[in-house]
Structure 1
Amino acid sequence: MTLIAAKWSVDDYHKMIETGLLDDRSVELINGAIIQMVPEGIAHAFCCRSTAKYLRTILGERAEISEAHPISLPNDSEPEPDIAVLKTPDTRYQSRHPAPDDIFWLVEIANTTLVNDLGVKRELYAQAGITEYWVMNLQTSELKVFRNFTANEYRTEISLNGGNISPLAFPDLSIEISRLFR
C-alpha cells in the first residue's frame, strides 16, 4: 500500500488558521503541505532584525520591508520568508498577503536551514516568478544571490563574501555585503 499525503489549499490553510487549529504552531504552507518551521535561534533573529533595519534605512520610502510574514504563491504555498522587500504602499496588503507581482526580492537567513533554503525554497520562489532571491549563510558569511528565473529554476547564481551588490529592482542602490552579516 502506498501512502499519499493529503494536499491542502491556501483556502484550507486559512480556514485552519481562522479556527485556531494552528495556534501555538510555527508552520508554513509549502506545495500543499503544512511544514513545521525550525525555531529561530539568537544569531538568526539578530541578523534578521539587523538586515531589515539596514534595508529600511537605505530603501526609505521606496519599498516595504516585511519580516517573517506570509506571502501568497501559486502551487498552494504560503511561506514566511525572513525578509520580503515589497512594493509600496503598505495599504496594498490590508486585505491580502503579498503575491509575486508585489515582491522586489526575498531574503532567507540560513543558520541551520541552508539545505532547505537552497533547495525547496529556491525552487518554490523560481516557480512563482520571484525576480531575485538571496540566501544569507550565517555559517560562512556568504550571500548567495539567485536571479534570471525560468519556469523552474534561477539561471544566475552569484556567491559573495564581501563588496557591494545592487538589487535588480534598484540598480542605483549599493548594498554592503559585510553590513548584512553584522
Structure 2
Amino acid sequence: MTLATYKWTIANYHQAIDAGLFTDESVELLRGNLVVMAPERELHAYYTRSIGHYLQSLLGDRALVSEAHPVTLPNNSEPEPDIAVVQPLGREYLEHHPYPENIFWLIECSQTTLTKDLTEKKDIYAEAGIQEYWVINLQNHQLIVFKDLQNGIYKIEKSFVEGTISPIAFPNIQVSVHQLLN
C-alpha cells in the first residue's frame, strides 16, 4: 500500500483557514506539513506572558513583541513561535504576518516540545534566515541561544543559566537570563 501525502503551500493553508477548516484545531504549517499544536498548559502560558512583557519593557517602541502569532517563512512554513520580536510595522501587519526580514529574533518556551524546538524548528528558522533563535528550556531552567547564521545553519549554540545576554539586533540591550527563567 502506498501512502499519499499532501504538501500544503502557504496560499492553500490560508485558503483553508479562511474557509474555516481548522476552527476546532490549533495547527501550524511546517515545511508544507500541518502539525497539530499541543494545548497550552499554565506553566507555558506563564512563561510566554512573563517573557513577552519583560522584553517589551526593555525594547519599548524599537520592536513589537508578538506572543504566539504566526510568522510567514519562505520554506512553506507558517509557525507560531511563542515570542517573535519583530519590526513595529503597525498596520502593515494587516496585509501579512512578519516575514524573515521583519524578524529580529524568535523564542520558543519549551517543555513538552523541547526536541521539536531544538531540531525541526531550529532548522526551519535557520533555513529561513532568522538571525537569532532562543529556546527557553523549561525542563532544565536554561536558555539556549542559536546564532551566527551561515548557509542556513546556526554555527553557535550556547546555554545560559545566569548572567545577561544582548540580542544581535539590539547590542545595547542587556537581557537578564534570571528574569527569563523565573
Task: Name the TM tier (shorter chain).
Answer: over 0.9
Write out aligned runs for 1:97-136 (5 A): 97-136=97-136
Deviation of residue 15 (structure 1)? 0.6
What's the secondary structure of 1:50's corresponding residue?
Answer: helix
Partner Cα distance (1:92, 1:134) in 2: 26
Range that drifts further, 4-13 or 123-132? 4-13
Deviation of residue 89 (structure 1)? 2.8
User: Where in structure 2 are there 5+ consecutive unaligned residues?
Assistant: none
- For 2:36, the equivalent position in structure 1 comes to 36
Contact 1:64 1:90 in 2 (8 A): no
Deviation of residue 60 (structure 1)? 0.4
Matched letter for residue 95 of structure 1: E
CA root-mean-square deviation: 0.9
What's the secondary structure of 1:29's corresponding residue?
Answer: strand
- For 2:158, the equivalent position in structure 1 comes to 158
Partner Cα distance (1:41, 1:17) in 2: 24
Matched letter for residue 28 of structure 1: E
Contact 2:32 2:77 in 1 (8 A): yes
Contact 2:143 2:181 in 1 (8 A): no
Matched letter for residue 173 of structure 1: I
User: Where in structure 1 are there 5+ consecutive unaligned residues?
Assistant: none
Deviation of residue 139 (structure 1)? 1.1
Contact 2:74 2:128 in 1 (8 A): yes
Give the total of aligned pairs.
Answer: 182
TM norm structure 1: 0.97
TM norm structure 2: 0.97
Partner Cα distance (1:89, 1:111) in 2: 31
What's the secondary structure of 1:130's corresponding residue?
Answer: coil
What's the secondary structure of 2:34's corresponding residue?
Answer: strand
Q: Does 1:81 align with 2:62?
A: no
Q: Percent identity?
A: 48
- For 1:53, the equivalent position in structure 2 comes to 53
